[in-house]
Amino acid sequence: MTLSLKPASEYSISFLADLMTRGFEGYFVPIHITEAVMITMLRRDGIDLSSSRVLVKDEEPIGIGFIARRGWTSRLAAMGIVSNSRSGGAGTWAMQNLIEEAKARGEKEMVLEVIEQNTAGVKLYEKVGFQKIRRLVGYKLENPQADSAHDLEEIDIRDLARQVTYHGIKDLPWQLSGTTIMQHTPPSRAFRLNDAYCLISNPDATDISISSVLVKARSRGAGLSGVLLRSLFAKYPNKIWHVSPIYPEEMGFIFEQVGMMPETLSQWQMSLTL
């Protein structure tokens, strides 16, 4: 068996989308990557296809490793191996090579998030040297009752992204960082209530995702995030609200105070100093 890595930029988007779908077969949540989903992922997360790799066994593509890059830091944005090629050391071999390539590019840190319950994934990343930074949690709430509709001011997503970059914690997970928030576009919408800010996915849909919540440091501890979220629930009634498991555990109170229920899946935010 000969393993090799080929630049993902040598393949079509639809091929990569299909290979990623097959690499995540039997995953904790169903993953179906279409060409459109992949294009959004590439743009929003800053994935660099010329640094991303298709894992090839003999002549056959058996997996993908998507690499996103910003300055001195890269992120393993997705890693998946087709089910019949798993648990044979291919994942370890690919990770070791991806780390060497990041070092050769002059980077100083590689980051990733992995589902805590994904034994093989956590084992693999710890084996190649990644360390846990913190647990990331998610929440859900159906049809919350809310009557206190304060006036929410709609703002440009770019202004929210600037606030997150300036006031948010410095090592936020990639998807919550100001740089990623900056890539969100309508129909997503950003709102402000005094010193509290949030970003939500298309509010016309039945399911709405809360993609960012920020309270400026000077106004923290006064329950402003709860007022903001309850106002959102009142503005858009009869919705199912989702918070992906990408929020630092210490931010969980924001969602618990408005009655949101923890998701069963959580993630580890991990980092490797190169």
Ligand X SMILES: CC(C)(COP(=O)(O)OP(=O)(O)OC[C@H]1O[C@@H](n2cnc3c(N)ncnc32)[C@H](O)[C@@H]1OP(=O)(O)O)[C@@H](O)C(=O)NCCC(=O)NCCS
Contacting residue, 86, 158, 167, 220, with ligand X by CB under 6 A = 86
Is 91 near ligand X (CB under 6 A)? yes
Compute φ and ψ for 193, nearest 5 degrees: -135, 105
Q: How far is the CB of 252 from ligand X (least distance, A)?
A: 21
CB 228 within 8 Å of CB 193: yes
**Residue tagged 């798993």 (tokens):** 86
Which tokens is 225 given?
């995030």
Nearer to ligand X, 121 or 168 (CB): 121
| Residue 92 contacts ligand X per CB under 6 A | yes
Rule CB under 6 A: say whether 89 interacts with ligand X. yes
By CB under 6 A, tell whether 188 contacts ligand X: no
Q: Does 127 bind ligand X (CB under 6 A)?
A: yes
Of 120, 149, 205, 217, the one binding ligand X (CB under 6 A) is 120
Mention every residue, 6+ apart, whose C-beta is less than 8 A from residue 264. none
Residue type present at position 257: Q
238 part of the interface to ligand X, by CB under 6 A: no
Per CB under 6 A, which of residues 20..59 are in contact with ligand X? Answer: 23-24, 27
Cβ contact 56:5 at 8 Å: yes
E strand spans, 71-218? 73-81, 109-115, 131-142, 153-155, 189-193, 196-200, 207-215
Task: Name the minimum Å distance from CB 122 to ligand X.
Answer: 8
Residues in the chain: 274
Q: Does 121 bind ligand X (CB under 6 A)?
A: yes
Q: Nearest approach, Cβ of 130 to ligand X (angstroms)?
A: 11
- Interacting residue ranges for ligand X, rule: CB under 6 A: 23-24, 27, 79-81, 86-92, 114, 118-121, 123-124, 127
